[in-house]
Amino acid sequence: MITLVAAPPGTRGHGAKGTFLDIRVADLESPEVLALLREHLASLAPTAPAESRHALDLGGFRNPDVTFWSIWDGPVLAGFGALKQLTASHAEIKSMRTATSHLRQGVASRMLRHLVQEATARGCSRLSLETGSMAFFEAARRLYTAFGFVPCPPFGSYKADPNSVFMTMQLTASQAAGRQGN
């Protein structure tokens, strides 16, 4: 099990440049959010056949079981992440994206920490994800592994697919509090 470093009170955390990163439920009509979502989906299109791509589009993010957050560095959109409630005790990370301007500045780690803490606060004991098996997704797989995710069989409605890697982690109450750790 891992424990995570908490941001200061609320949903704010420091960015790499010393600015605050503010995570909030996203406005799905925001031009910045829509542009980054379009960029996200376009970048995924060449990575796998359509039947192997599981990223949600705008309509999918509007599903009541999905919560979509944006992360802001002052007035600039730095990324987004989404959580889908599968059952009362199991959630799935549905999307994470860092804006090109904020790559390698801790945005993905901050968003992932937020998603883990949110799933734990909702009472989930398990958090899972599906990501690509291709080199394009290697950095994401390394990040998930660093946070304690481990490979698992397909979950929910997923089927085994050579283009997919399925990962999961067991959640503990200390992760909601975000104590110092890994």
- Residue 75: is it exposed, middle or buried by C-beta count within 10 angstroms (0-12/13-18/19+)? exposed
What is the enclosing helix (H) or strand (E) of 36?
A: helix 31-44
Per-residue pLDDT at 1 exceeds 60: no
Report residue 19's pLDDT band, with 50, 70 and 90 as the boundaries: low
Q: How confident is the model at residue 45 (pLDDT cuts 50, 70, 90)?
A: low
Average pLDDT of 101-129? Answer: 95
pLDDT at 175: 67
Tell me what pLDDT residue 2 has.
Answer: 28
Burial of 110 (0-12, 13-18, 19+ CB in 10 A): buried
The CB density around residue 147, as the number of other CB atoms within 10 Å, is: 19
Is residue 50 helix, strand or coil?
helix
Give the pLDDT score at 47: 73
Q: Across residues 33-55, what is the average pLDDT?
A: 75
Kindly indicate the confidence band of residue 43, based on its pLDDT and cuts at 50, 70 and 90: confident
For 154-159, what is the mean pLDDT? Answer: 94
Task: Give kind and range of the element (H or E) at residue 156.
Answer: none
Tell which residue, 145, 144, 54, has the closest CA to residue 95: 54
Beta bridge partners of 164: 132
Q: Work out the average pLDDT over 120-146.
A: 95
Mean pLDDT value across residues 36-48 = 75
Whether 96 and 140 have beta carbons less than 8 Å apart is answered as yes
pTM of the entire predicted model = 0.82
Q: Give residues with Cβ within 8 angstroms of 122, minimum separation 6.
A: 85, 91
- pLDDT value of residue 60: 78
At residue 71, does pLDDT exceed 80?
yes
Assign domain 12-177 to a CATH class.
Answer: alpha beta
